Chain A
Amino acid sequence: MEFIENHLLTFILFTPTVAALVLLFIPGKYIKAFRWGALAASLIPFVLTLIAWAQFNPDPNPAAPFQFVEQSAWYAAINASYHLGIDGISLPMVLLTTLLTPLALLASFSIKERIKPYMILFLLLETGMLGVFMALDLILFFVFWEIGLVPMYFLIAQWGGSNRNYAALKFVLYTMGGSLGLLLAIQLMGVSVGSFDLITLTEKWPTLQSLAVPIGIPIETVKNIAFWAFVIAFAIKVPVWPFHTWLPDAHTEAPTAGSMILAGVMLKLGAYGFLRLVLPLFPAEAQRFAWVLAALAVAAIIFGALGALAQNDFKRLVAYSSINHMGFVVLAVAAAAATWNTTAANTLLDKNLALSGAVLQMFNHGLSAAGMFFLVGVIYERSHTRNLNEMGGLYAILPVYGTVLIFTAMASLGLPGLGGFVSEFLVVRGVWPIFTVAAALSMIGLFFTGAYILKALKLVLHGPLNTRWEGHLTDINLRELVVMAPLMVLMLLIGVWPAWLLDMINQAVAFLF
């Protein structure tokens, strides 16, 4: 037991991998073993995360900013080590991942084909995502960053919709294209500083005056290039406008659970990269280019919402909504970047609020986007259509589903009383004094958020019943309700009493930035 407690993060991180390896040796015909085995295995990291949560001290200690730290030699030759640790920003993300994975696996019980590779890939995916949130070494970070891509590629390409090959290829090439620059920049930084350790790099890189290897380019230019390499890699993942067009394709074609994880967790990897790497490693560059980020974030908020409004495919509409919602995270990051070295108490508070809102928005969007994609999947499995114009009036025959859908859609819309409002309010409030115009323009996006959410509800639930469905659709079943229940409870809980989560985030953000 003590061993587990001393290596809690490792256990959280690798339980899914171990489980995947075990499943590898079970014959494929035992379908139930894969379903329940994968689900049970994914619950272990969740329980361990809860233990970590209980033991976590939300008040950061300046001497040891990360908790549950584990460090051991890995690639000694290049000074890369196996270094894990979490703080008040990463712990909510770890919780989000370990919570959404079991729910996504439960949602995958309706998968009928090639269950064995599906479940194995899904578990490997979890390890990849968790690693990104825990890694404190850039090489380790990059390894996990890339590992997550592979299972997701196969999940989309093997179990996806009709246009899955295009979508999977676009997804994997686009993300890997972004990663190339990231890898080069990481190597450059590691070689220059002599370490890939995030803590060491954060201390030395921003103040570095000359490169270890003279390449004849001014250090400022090198830093700028490295900054943009990081930004583009993460901007593709978030995604920030105009790097977003892979998302509607990938999210729409992925199987339901894949979309839940894509929107729920994978987009946060990019946002997390901004918070964990870009801001601490490139404060000066980030400040210089903050306005660019703010402009792109506003574009994402507005065009994401408008793009969603244009859709007639239910899943594509939900996919576009992610661009809109994640725009608020980037907007907050931009505001924090713009006020990097401020000492004024007012501005510190503004920045603090914006970033707390950003992290909370990541969590909230994880809940609501996963919920929305799942609900799209529920209706798709029954009707085999995602075309909104073919639905209509379904509330009359699916009353429970309709209520759950309205609830989740309202969380996505940012209705006060549910989680999304708190985070969006914090972001808008924090950004307002820093980028006033951007905050004002983001309201256009907020308005159209209402428009596309109501469009979806109108076409699915309301209006005259499309008689084609009468007697053919069954209401949401118990398993599906079990998937939705934790999400809905958390949405409500964060909306009514955000302090339980926000306190941790707030202290971490106040300490870091």
Chain B
Amino acid sequence: MISETLVWLIPLPPLLAFFLIVVFTNRNKALSHWLALIAAGLSWAISMVIFGRAVRTEGLAEHPFAHAIDWLPTGTTSLKIGIQIDPLSAVVLFFVAITVLMIFIYSTGYHNYGQPAGQHDRKGLPPEGAEVKDAKGKLVKVPSIEPMYSRFFALISLFAFAMFLLVVTDNLLTLYVGWEIMGLCSYLLIGFWYAKESARKAMIKAFLTTRVGDVFMLLGLAALYALTGTLNYQEILGNPAVLEQLAGTLSPVFSLSWAALIGLLIFIGTVGKSAQFPLHIWLPDAMEGPTPVSAMIHAATMVSAGVYLVIRFFPLLSAGWEPGGTLTTPMLVMGIIGSFTAIFAATIAVAQNDIKRVLAFSTISQLGYMIAALGVGAYAAAAFHLVTHAFFKALLFLGSGSIIHGMEHGIFHTGEHIDPQNMLNMGGLRKKMPITFWTFLIGGLALSGFPLITAGFWSKDEILSGAFKGGQMGVFITLALAALLTAFYTARQITLTFLGKPRSKAAEHAQESKWTMTAPLAILSVFAIGAGWAGIPADFPGLGGLLPNWFEEFVGSMLHFEHVESVHSLVPLITSLVVALGGLALGWVVYKGLQKPVDPLEKSLGGLHTVLKNKYYIDEFYQAAFIRPALWLADVFTYKFLDQTIIDGVLHGIARFGVWLGNGLRNIIDLPVVNGAGDNAARGTRGLGLYLRSRQSGRIQQYMVIAISLLVLAGLVIYFTVGLG
């Protein structure tokens, strides 16, 4: 089939699976997960075919696979929507398709498919395990299957659909559609166990925090569409004339150019979606969802989408900039926010004990790297880190889920009451869970940038050298420090979890997860290593040039810059080696002999540790500075004051005036005059009647007297009035 048609087909299978599961198969768990798996498999297969074709196509950046149809009638024309595969979307599609499929497979194991239903399990709560009789007739507790198993697969299918849609589309509007549907999916999946109070809070926090970014982004969309008459990537980003015009005209805000203003608005969308400071607060809480969801959000979909957006719009964000020249405002902002987020989140990660929370902050930190990379103009490096990060972060999250499962097994076995996610309760899992250990180790080393063999090293090194070569020493130093911290907390995590001796009974009895969970780990760890070899810089000492720097060439072709030969320097390389190895060693030394579940840093850092542990109290600050005032504004000001007191007060005042006026009229006019006239007439008639009645005595003589008198009277009247005439 021709590539364009195939690309249209990529997002459809998961969407279809979603509808089929929701409407038809939700009562049948096996059928539901098969539908989801087959859909993810189909999308993966088509994506791989497309990726293969894209790689072999010459000049793909200028002539992408593209096709569009009329969608929205606008005046005399139509807004078109369509698909487009260029080098950037091809590489994103590559990692999305693989990680999504791996997460889907892993989910069947994670949600205990094939296990019995728990006696006390309820919808909306995590399964608590089932009691079954073992071979000897003894009652033992085993993991139980997720009660909302089908719903889970329906929702992650929709999630995958939205991401595929976002990647293959050719315009900002459909990207926004996918973007928001992902927002909904993350909301529903973070709150998958909705009966938990913490999950209920986290789901709303995620949706609303990202929505702050989204409404700004929508304005950027409207402005861009209004100014250029289109939202198509090629027509805006691939058209230097349009970019030049946008960069050359002033917007009404802070004397920014339109390109800068729109760029910033779009970037705020990314700040929300990719959890950059100051909108990072939702991501750590997103841990409330099942672990495969965390992997979806942190690697395959959500946060990657945010970075993808700014990479996609880099030509607009950097409009007017040339390598080596002054940075544009959006780049400057990205450089600052990205590098600050990188080090800020890394410091928090150091003080977290929850295994998933450490990873969550590491994601925020790594996303900061990508944003900062764009800020210094290291376009290909940002995309490269996006790809490698997706692989190793998916691996790490799925690995942490496997660890938690192993710990839960131990808890079932021992009946201990401990938190299965707290690393201080672990230790020594290396022997109990070898596959998880080795794969997690690979992921961890990739995250900390362990030299030469891991993918993370190559991509992070690219970013550091990009910042160095770009002369952005502030960014370079910040990112280098963040890399040191990254290596440190990763070593801490691995040491606490896998090395040393078990610090709880549960950890002693932990068990390796089943193959549906470990196989995806193994596959992902291949990519966590191998993905780096696609982008070894040509000037790397020794290795450079052995393999062509394919990634840089392929994705770099998206930009129309002349390749600038920069001064070659060993400083960034040495820096990355030192921080990665130094941090790892430091982390290992500090935590290797830990006996009791107490973090030694707690003592040595003192108050600082408390601050870090509480994430600099930013949640508390937002609560006091924004959320409470907003609720006050809604409840007290808008509703009670404006509507009920002022507006309704005026209305009721008018109504009271009306009633007063009516009463007044009644008392002054109606009662004395109108009613009075009527009443008196009635009274008079009645009086007359009474009088007349008293005359009716029944005596004939009396009647005769009256009759004759009246007759005489009438005769006189006629005589004097008519007769004399």
Chain A interfacial positions (CB closer than 8 Å to B): 170, 173-174, 242, 244-245, 248, 303, 306-307, 309-311, 348-350, 352-353, 356, 393, 395-396, 399, 403, 406, 410, 415-417, 421-422, 425-426, 428-429, 432-433, 436, 439-440, 443-444, 446-448, 450-451, 454-455, 458, 461-465, 497-499, 502-503, 506-507, 510
Contact A348 B222 (CB under 8 A): no
**B75 interface residue (CB < 8 Å to A):** yes
B693 to chain A, nearest CB (A): 47
- B256 on interface, CB distance cutoff 8 Å: no
**If A310-B639, A454-B208 touch, does A506 touch B75 (CB 8 Å cutoff)?**
yes
A443 x B75 contact (CB < 8 A): no
**Which applies to chain B's interface (DSSP): helix, strand, loop or mixed?**
helix
Chain B: which residue is nearest A450 at the CB level?
B211
Indicate if the CB atoms of A307 and B177 lie closer than 8 Å.
no
By the criterion CB–CB under 8 Å, are A465 and B215 in contact? no
When distances are taken between beta carbons in the complex, the residues of chain B under 8 Å from A436 are 252
> A345 → chain B, closest Cβ, in Å?
9
- Given contacts A416-B181, A417-B177, A461-B194, is CB(A395)–CB(B638) below 8 Å? no
Residues A429 and B226 in contact, CB atoms below 8 Å apart: yes
Q: Which residue of A lies closest to B216 (CB)?
A: A443
A93 to B71, alpha carbons, bound, how many Å?
22
Q: Does B642 contact A (CB under 8 A)?
A: yes
Q: Measured between C-beta atoms, what is the minimum distance from B156 to chain A in Å?
A: 16
Q: Is the CB of B123 within 8 A of A447?
A: no
Most interface-central of B221, B222, B651 (chain A CB within 10 A): B222
Q: How far is the CB of A414 from chain B (nearest CB, A)?
A: 9
In the assembled complex, 11 residue pairs joining A and B whose CB atoms fall closer than 8 Å, in A order, are A309-B630, A309-B634, A310-B640, A349-B74, A403-B22, A415-B180, A416-B180, A429-B222, A454-B187, A465-B124, A499-B73
Q: Is the CB of A510 within 8 A of B76?
A: yes
B212 (CB) vs chain A CBs: closest residue = A447
| Nearest CB in chain B: distance from A307 CB, A | 5
Q: Which of B169-185 contact A (CB under 8 A)?
A: 173, 176-181, 184
* A395 and B643 contacting across the interface, CB-CB below 8 Å: no
For A242, list chain B residues within 8 Å (CB): 642, 647
> Of B195-203, B402-410, B442-450, B500-508, which binds chain A?
B195-203
Using Cβ atoms and an 8 Å threshold, which residues of chain B touch A244?
Answer: 643, 647
Find residues 94-140 in chain B having any chain A CB closer than 8 Å to their own CB: 122-124
Does A310 lie within 8 Å of B197, measured CB to CB?
Answer: no
How many angstroms between the C-alpha atoms of A85 and B122 in the bound complex? 58
CB distance from A242 to the nearest CB of B (A): 5
Enumerate chain A residues within 8 angstroms of B226, measured Cβ to Cβ.
350, 429, 432-433
For A464, list chain B residues within 8 Å (CB): 195, 197
Contacts of B203 in A (CB 8 A): 462
| A245 and B72 contacting across the interface, CB-CB below 8 Å | no
The one of A428, A444, A454, A506 in contact with B218, judged by C-beta atoms closer than 8 angstroms, is A428
> Are B195 and A393 within 8 A (Cβ)?
yes
Inter-chain contact B218/A446, CB cutoff 8 Å: yes
For the complex, give the distance between the alpha carbons of A410 and B195 in Å: 20
B225 near A499: Cβ-Cβ < 8 Å: no
Could you list which residues of chain B lie within 8 angstroms of chain A, going by C-beta atoms?
A: 22, 70-76, 78, 122-124, 173, 176-181, 184, 187-188, 191, 194-195, 197, 199-200, 203-204, 207-208, 211-212, 215-216, 218-219, 221-223, 225-226, 229, 252, 630-631, 633-635, 637-640, 642-643, 647-648, 651, 655
Q: Are A458 and B200 in contact (CB under 8 A)?
A: yes
Beyond A395-B124, A415-B184, whether A306 also contacts B639 by CB under 8 A is: yes
Look across to chain A and name the residue whose beta carbon is closest to the beta carbon of B177: A416
B195→A465 contact, CB < 8 A: yes
Residues of B within 8 A of A306 (CB): 633-634, 637-639
Known: A499-B71, A510-B75. A396 touches B123 (CB 8 A): yes
Cα of A72 to Cα of B191 in the assembled complex, Å: 61
Residue contact A440 to B219, C-beta cutoff 8 Å: yes
Given contacts A498-B72, A503-B73, A307 and B191 within 8 Å (CB-CB): no
With beta carbons under 8 angstroms apart, the residue of A349, A396, A416, A450 that contacts B75 is: A349
Residues of A within 8 A of B72 (CB): 422, 426, 498-499, 502
Residues of B within 8 A of A348 (CB): 75
**With a CB–CB cut-off of 8 A, which chain A residues contact B200?**
458, 462-463
- Expressed in whole angstroms, the Cα–Cα distance for A71 and B73 within the complex equals 33
Shortest distance from the beta carbon of B360 to any chain A beta carbon, whole Å: 22
CB distance from A309 to the nearest CB of B (A): 4
Q: Given the complex of chains A and B, what is the CA–CA distance between A506 and B79 in angstroms? A: 13
With both beta carbons as reference points, the residue of chain A lying nearest to B633 in the complex is identified as: A306
Give the CA-CA distance A447 to B634 in the complex, in Å: 13
Contact in complex: B73, A396 (CB < 8 Å): no
A449 to B344, CA, bound (A): 32
Closest 5 CB pairs of A and B: A310-B639, A416-B177, A309-B634, A306-B638, A310-B635
Contact A245 B651 (CB under 8 A): yes
Contact B219 A443 (CB under 8 A): yes
Expressed in whole angstroms, the minimum distance between the Cβ of B23 and any Cβ of chain A is 10
Provide the bound-state CA to CA distance between A89 and B495, in Å.
68
Q: When the two chains form the complex, which single residue of B71, B74, B124, B207 contacts A450, counting CB atoms closer than 8 Å? A: B207
Distance of A70 Cα from B222 Cα, bound (Å): 42
Tell me, in angstroms, the Cα distance from A439 to B191 when the chains sit together. Answer: 32
Contact A245 B647, CB 8 Å, known A396-B124, A439-B219 = yes
What separation, in Å, do the CA atoms of A395 and B631 have in the docked complex?
Answer: 26
Distance A391 CA – B194 CA, assembled complex (angstroms): 14
Cα A462 to Cα B187 in complex, Å, equals 12
Q: B222 contacts which of A309, A410, A428 (Cβ < 8 Å)?
A: A428
A450 near B208 (CB under 8 angstroms)? yes
Shortest CB distance A362–B (Å): 17
Considering only CB atoms, which chain A residue lies closest to B147 in the complex? Answer: A396
Q: Which residues of chain B have C-beta atoms less than 8 A from A502's C-beta?
A: 72-73
Q: Which of B173, B191, B637, B638 has the most CB of A within 10 A?
A: B638
